[in-house]
Amino acid sequence: MKRVFTFLALLMLFIFNGNAQSNDSLMIKKISDEIFMNGTAYSNLKYLCKRVGPRLSGSAGAALAVEQTARMLREAGADTVYLQSCMVPHWVRGDKEVGNATLTDGKKINLNIVALGNAVGTPAKGITAEVVEVKNFKELEALGADKVRGKIVFYNYRMDPRYINTFQAYGDAGVYRGAGPSRAAALGAIGVIVRTLSPVLDDNPHTGATRYEEGKPKIPAVAISTNGAVELSNLIAAQKVKSIYFKTNCQMLEDVESFNVIGELRGAELPDEIITVGGHLDSWDLAEGAHDDGTGCVQSIEVIRSLKSLGIRPKRTIRAVMFMNEENGLRGGTQYAEVAKKENKKFIMGLESDAGGFTPRGFGYTASLSQSAIIEKWQPLFVPYGALEFKRGGGGADIGPLRSLGTALIGLNPDSQRYMDLHHAKTDVFEAVSERELNLGAVVMTAMVYLVAQYGL
Amino acid sequence: MKRVFTFLALLMLFIFNGNAQSNDSLMIKKISDEIFMNGTAYSNLKYLCKRVGPRLSGSAGAALAVEQTARMLREAGADTVYLQSCMVPHWVRGDKEVGNATLTDGKKINLNIVALGNAVGTPAKGITAEVVEVKNFKELEALGADKVRGKIVFYNYRMDPRYINTFQAYGDAGVYRGAGPSRAAALGAIGVIVRTLSPVLDDNPHTGATRYEEGKPKIPAVAISTNGAVELSNLIAAQKVKSIYFKTNCQMLEDVESFNVIGELRGAELPDEIITVGGHLDSWDLAEGAHDDGTGCVQSIEVIRSLKSLGIRPKRTIRAVMFMNEENGLRGGTQYAEVAKKENKKFIMGLESDAGGFTPRGFGYTASLSQSAIIEKWQPLFVPYGALEFKRGGGGADIGPLRSLGTALIGLNPDSQRYMDLHHAKTDVFEAVSERELNLGAVVMTAMVYLVAQYGL
C-alpha cells in the first residue's frame, strides 16, 4: 500500500510538474510575442545611443542617461523609480591624442592611438623616446631594466583567434592593457603602447581601463589600432624606427556624485524577496555604448515593461537596475550591494546582461548546488528560444558584489563572435545592434526573471 | 562467464568509443585552429563579393564566378577541379524599375520597388490602374473577380515577428511572393505589388523568385520596401490613392549554358563513396550575394583547404560543389543529382550551407533512422563550437535532389535572426559578414565532413 501511495504521489508530482512546465512554456510564449510585437527596447536603445550618446561616469552624458532611463522605467510601468547615489571617478580624455613614429630616414608615420581609460596624461609637450616591442611579459622581463629604462614599451600581443569564445581571448590578452603600464614602469619605461584588443584588423583603436599598481610610477598609456600595431611592428623589425612620440591629454579629476537608476515591480506575495536584473549605464567616451552596455539597460527595462503590459503581477519583487560606473570603477555595483546589506530584504537572484545585445545562447550562473539544480530544471523552457546553453560559472561585474549576500548570480550569454570587434571602440553604435537579437535577449531574460519571481530559488 | 565476457566486451567498446571520440575531438580542434589561424574563406568571400559581384544565372558575373571559384578550389589543394555543364534560365532585370502612386489631390508619391525574379516585364509604357490592398489570400478571394479585374493587387502581409526562427516567418509570408501574381491574375488583376519579405522597416525592396502557375496569365509583379508598404497602406486607408503606375523592364531570355564548379579530395580507402559539401554560386542581381550564398561557397572551399593543409587524407571522397542557379531554377542541383545517378558511386552524404554566414547553431538532417543515430552520436563533439542544436529534418535546396539516391542530407543551421534583414536586397554585402562567424561555420562543416569521411554513415 505504501509503495502504491508513493507511486501515486510520484505520478501526481510528475503530472503537476508537467503542467507547471507547460503553463510556464505558454507564459514564456506570451512574453515572447509581447516583446516581438510591442517591445520598446530598440527605440529606447536608439534614444540612449543617438540622443544621449557617450556616457562615461561623471560626464554630462552619464547625467542625462540617468534622467532618461528613469523616464523609460516610468513609462515601462515600474511601480517605483528611484535613484541610488554613489560617488564615481571622473576621468576625462581631453583633446584627441596624437602620436607618431620618426623613422631613421627622417619621415614621420602617424600612430592611430587613444589613451587607455584611467591613465595619466603625458606632459604638455608629450613624450618622445625609443620604442621596445615585446610580445608578452616574459619578453619584457627578459629585456630587463637596462633595455627598458627611458623607453616606450610596445606590447604587441595579438588576441588569440583560436579561442572559440572571444571573452576567453579577451581575458588572455587583456592583462597587457590592465597590468602592462605598471609592469613596464617597474623597469623604468616612460610610456606604454598596447595593441588593441580586437580580433579584426582595422584602424579603430579600442580604449578600456588600465590599472596602475600601488607604489609603481604611473606612466602614460595608449592603445594602438590593430592595423597600426602590425605596421609599427613591421617597421621595428626592419629597424626603421628612430623614436616614438605621443601626447595624451587625459586626467583623473575629483570623484563626483552619480546614480544607479532603479525601477521596481513590487511582488504580490513576497515583496521582500528581491530579484535584480540589470546592465550598466555608463559607457566609454569614444562611442555610443550600444552593445556595451546600452543593450543590457534597455533589455532590463523591457523585463519590467513586458510583464507589466501582460498584466503579470510577480510574486516576488523585480528590480531593474541601471548600474553606474562599471567601466572604470564598479562603484555602482559596489554601492548597490552595500545598500542591499542594510535593507532588511532577501536578494535571491541577480541577472546581468553585459556581453552585448547579440543573439542569446544561454546563461552562466554562480549559485548553490540546489539553486543551480532549479535553474537547470528550467533549461528545456529556453530551448525554443535558442538560449539553451546552461553553464555553471558566470554572472556579471555589477551584480558580483551581491554574491557576499548569498545571492544567486546569473549572466546572460549572448553569442560572442562579434563583440570584441567593436568593444570600447567608436564602432559600438546603435546600427551595430539587430532589433531581433536584442529582443530575443530581452525575451529570455524576462523568462528567467519570471520563473525566479514565481518559484523562487 | 558469459556475462563477464559481455561486460568486458561492453567495457572495451566503451573505452574504444571513448578514445575514438577523444581523438576526433583533438582532430576537430586542429581543424578549428587551422581555420582560425590560416583560413582563406574571408578573403575568398571578399573577392567573390567585390571583384565578381552579383552573379545571377546567365550573367557575366556568374561566368566569372565559375572561373574564379575553380581557381580558389585549385589553390585550396583539391586533387581535381572540374566544371559540370547545365542549362540555366536567363532572366534579366533591364533598366531600373519606376513606380508611383497618383493621389486624389493630384500629387505623386514614388514607390520604392523592384521586379520579382522570373517575372515578366510591363509593356513599354508601364501599367496604370487602381490598387486593391489585401492582407492575405482570404481577403483576395473575398473580394472576388468583380473587385479585382483590371486592378493592381497589393499584398501587404507583414512577416510575422513572433516566429523565433526567421525562416519560418519567411515560409509563412513567402507564399505571396511565390503564388501571389498567379492568384491575382486568376481574378483578372493586371499587376501585383508584394510587401518585401523582411522583419525590419527600411527602404530596401527585396527581390526573389515568383512562380507563375501554368495556364494563368503572367502579370508583372514587384516587391515594395517595407517602409513603402506601410506608407502606401496608410494612403489607401485614408482613401487618398487614385491610381498606381509602375514600369518594369525585365524579361526571360533563352536558356544558356552554365556550370556547377566541383573540387575533389579523393578518398584514400573508399574513393567511390562521395561526400558532397556545397553552397550555391549564383546570387540575385541587386547585391553582392554575400550571405546568400557566397558564404556557403567559400566555406565549402575551406573544407577542402583546411583538410589538405593539415595533411588529412580522407578515407572517402569529398567534393566541394558550387551549385549554379539555386535562386531561380535549381538547375545546378538537379543536374548534379542526374549525373550522380549515372556515376557508379555511392553518394552517402550531402551537406549544404545556404542560410547565411552567421554563427552556427547546429545541423538539421534528413536521413534514415540509423544514419540519424550516427549523426546524433557525434553531437557532443560540436558542443565546444556552439553548433549543438541537432534536429531531424532539413538539408538544402541544391542537395535536395540527391535524396532520391538515398543520400543523407544535412543542412548547416546558422543563427537566423539577421538573415532576412538583408536577404535578396542590396544590403547583402561583404561588410555584413563577420570573419569569425564565417570561419566558425567552416569549422563545424569541416568537422562534420571529416567525421562522415572517416566513419561513413
The answer as to whether B10 is a domain residue is no
Euclidean distance between CA atoms B417 and A406, whole angstroms: 36
Residues A155-191: pLDDT tens digits? 999 999 999 999 999 999 999 999 999 999 999 999 9
Residue B435 DSSP SS3: helix
Q: Residue B20 CB: number of other CB atoms within 10 A?
A: 12
Euclidean distance between CA atoms A418 and A401, whole angstroms: 28
Pick the residue of A38, A436, A439 with the most B CBs within 10 A to test the interface with B by mutation. A436
Pick the residue of B415, B416, B433, B439 with the most A CBs within 10 A to test the interface with A by mutation. B415
For residue B235, give the H/E element and its range: helix B226-237
The DSSP-derived string for A171-213 is HHHHHHHHHHHHHHHTTT-SEEEEE-S-SS-SS-----B--PP
CB contacts < 8 A, A to B, total 63
- The alpha carbon of residue B157 and the mean position of all alpha carbons in its chain are separated, in whole angstroms, by 22
How would residue A1 be classed by pLDDT, with cut points 50, 70 and 90? very low
The answer as to whether A161 is a domain residue is yes
| 8 Å CB contact of B415 and A386 | yes
Closest CA of chain B from A192, distance in Å? 27
Closest CA to B252 of B126, B90, B400: B90
SS3 for A74-143, per residue? HHHCCCEEEEEEEEEEEEECCCCCEEEEEECCCCEEECCEEECECCCCCCCCCEEECEEEECCHHHHHHH
| 8 Å CB contact of B162 and A36 | yes
User: How many structural domains does chain A have?
Assistant: 2
pTM of the model: 0.95
Residues pairing with A278 in the sheet? A321, A352
| 8 Å CB contact of B162 and A37 | yes
| 8 Å CB contact of B436 and A166 | yes
Last residue of a domain, one of A189, A218, A249: A249
Euclidean distance between CA atoms B14 and A168, whole angstroms: 32
Shared domain for B193 and B342, answered yes or no, is: no
Residue B134 — φ and ψ, nearest 5°?
-130, 150
Please report, in angstroms and rounded to a whole number, the separation of the first and last CA atoms in chain B: 34
The answer as to whether A381 is a domain residue is yes
CA distances from B334 to A317, B50, B87, B144, B399 (A): 59, 29, 11, 38, 8
Euclidean distance between CA atoms B422 and B200, whole angstroms: 9
- The alpha carbon of residue A109 and the mean position of all alpha carbons in its chain are separated, in whole angstroms, by 34
Residues pairing with B279 in the sheet? B322
The answer as to whether B21 is a domain residue is no
CB B327 within 8 A of CB B93: no
Shared domain for A264 and A367, answered yes or no, is: yes
Euclidean distance between CA atoms B26 and B310, whole angstroms: 13
Residues A268-289: pLDDT tens digits? 999 999 999 999 999 999 999 9
Residues pairing with B86 in the sheet? B258
For residue A261, give the H/E element and its range: strand A251-265
Q: Residue A125 pLDDT more than 80?
A: yes
Selecting from B32, B385, B418 the residue whose C-beta is nearest the C-beta of A434 gives B418
Selecting from B37, B389, B418 the residue whose C-beta is nearest the C-beta of A161 gives B37
CATH of the domain at B317: 3.40.630.10
Check residue B154 and give its pLDDT.
Answer: 98
Q: Residue A364 pLDDT more than 60?
A: yes
Whether residue B293 has a cis bond before it, omega within 30° of 0: yes
The answer as to whether A76 is a domain residue is yes
Euclidean distance between CA atoms B405 and B342, whole angstroms: 11
Instruction: Name every residue whose Cβ is closer than 8 Å to that of residue B13 and which is 6 or more positions away in sequence.
Output: none
Euclidean distance between CA atoms A62 and A55, whole angstroms: 4
Closest CA of chain A from B202, distance in Å? 13
Using CA coordinates, name the residue in chain B closest to A34.
Answer: B162
Q: Which residue has the higher pLDDT, A11 or B40?
A: B40
The DSSP-derived string for B132-167 is EEESSHHHHHHHHHHHHTTSEEEE-----TT-SSHH
Shared domain for B278 and B401, answered yes or no, is: yes
Closest CA of chain B from A363, distance in Å? 13
Shared domain for A163 and A203, answered yes or no, is: yes
| Nine cell digits for residue A362 | 544561454
Check residue B21 and give its pLDDT.
Answer: 78
Selecting from A162, A415, A418 the residue whose C-beta is nearest the C-beta of B33 gives A162
Shared domain for A264 and A404, answered yes or no, is: yes
The answer as to whether A18 is a domain residue is no
Residue A403 DSSP SS3: helix
Q: Which parts of chain B sit beneath pLDDT 50?
A: 1
Residue B110 DSSP SS3: strand
Check residue B1 and give its pLDDT.
Answer: 47
Closest CA of chain B from A28, distance in Å? 12
Euclidean distance between CA atoms B83 and B87, whole angstroms: 13
Contact residues on chain A for B385, CB-CB shorter than 8 A: 164
Q: In B, what residues contact A, Cβ < 8 A? A: 32-33, 36-37, 161-162, 164, 166, 199-200, 359, 361, 384-386, 388-389, 415, 417-418, 421, 434-437, 440
Selecting from A33, A161, A359 the residue whose C-beta is nearest the C-beta of B417 gives A359
Section A148-154 average pLDDT: 98
Residues A376-403: pLDDT tens digits? 999 999 999 999 999 999 999 999 999 9
Selecting from B161, B200, B434 the residue whose C-beta is nearest the C-beta of A417 gives B434
Shared domain for B108 and B139, answered yes or no, is: yes
Shared domain for B342 and B433, answered yes or no, is: yes
Shared domain for A297 and A355, answered yes or no, is: yes
Last residue of a domain, one of B202, B222, B249: B249
Contact residues on chain A for B37, CB-CB shorter than 8 A: 161-162
Shared domain for A151 and A175, answered yes or no, is: yes
Pick the residue of B436, B440, B444 with the most A CBs within 10 A to test the interface with A by mutation. B436
Check residue A400 and give its pLDDT.
Answer: 98
CB B193 within 8 A of CB B113: yes
CATH of the domain at A224: 3.50.30.30
Section A79-101 average pLDDT: 98
| Nine cell digits for residue B210 | 515568383
Shared domain for A306 and A410, answered yes or no, is: yes
The complex scores an ipTM of 0.94
Closest CA of chain B from A359, distance in Å? 7
Shared domain for A239 and A158, answered yes or no, is: yes
Q: Residue A226 pLDDT more than 50?
A: yes
* Catalytic residue chosen out of the listed positions B326, B376, B389, B431: B326
Check residue A8 and give its pLDDT.
Answer: 57
Last residue of a domain, one of B249, B280, B295: B249
CA distances from A388 to A168, A360, A363, B165, B315 (A): 20, 9, 8, 15, 35
B438: amino acid identity, one letter: L
Helices (H), A348-434: 369-377, 379-382, 419-422
How would residue A99 be classed by pLDDT, with cut points 50, 70 and 90? very high
| 8 Å CB contact of B417 and A33 | no
Check residue A9 and give its pLDDT.
Answer: 56
Closest CA of chain B from A203, distance in Å? 15
**Radius of gyration for chain A, computed over Cα atoms and rounded to the nearest angstrom:** 24
**Radius of gyration for chain B, computed over Cα atoms and rounded to the nearest angstrom:** 24
Check residue A20 and give its pLDDT.
Answer: 73
Residues A189-224: pLDDT tens digits? 999 999 999 999 999 999 999 999 999 999 999 999
Section A316-326 average pLDDT: 98
- The alpha carbon of residue B356 and the mean position of all alpha carbons in its chain are separated, in whole angstroms, by 8
Selecting from B33, B162, B417 the residue whose C-beta is nearest the C-beta of A437 gives B417
The answer as to whether B389 is a domain residue is yes
Contact residues on chain B for A417, CB-CB shorter than 8 A: 359, 434, 436-437, 440
List the domain range (segments joined by +) for residue B302: 30-91+254-455
Q: Which residue has the cell 579523393?
A: B266
| 8 Å CB contact of B440 and A388 | no
Euclidean distance between CA atoms B40 and A201, whole angstroms: 15
Residue B300 DSSP SS3: helix
The answer as to whether A19 is a domain residue is no
| A326 in catalytic set | yes
| 8 Å CB contact of A162 and B37 | yes
Shared domain for A68 and A180, answered yes or no, is: no
Instruction: Name every residue whose Cβ is closer than 8 Å to that of residue A373 and which is 6 or more positions away in sequence.
Output: none
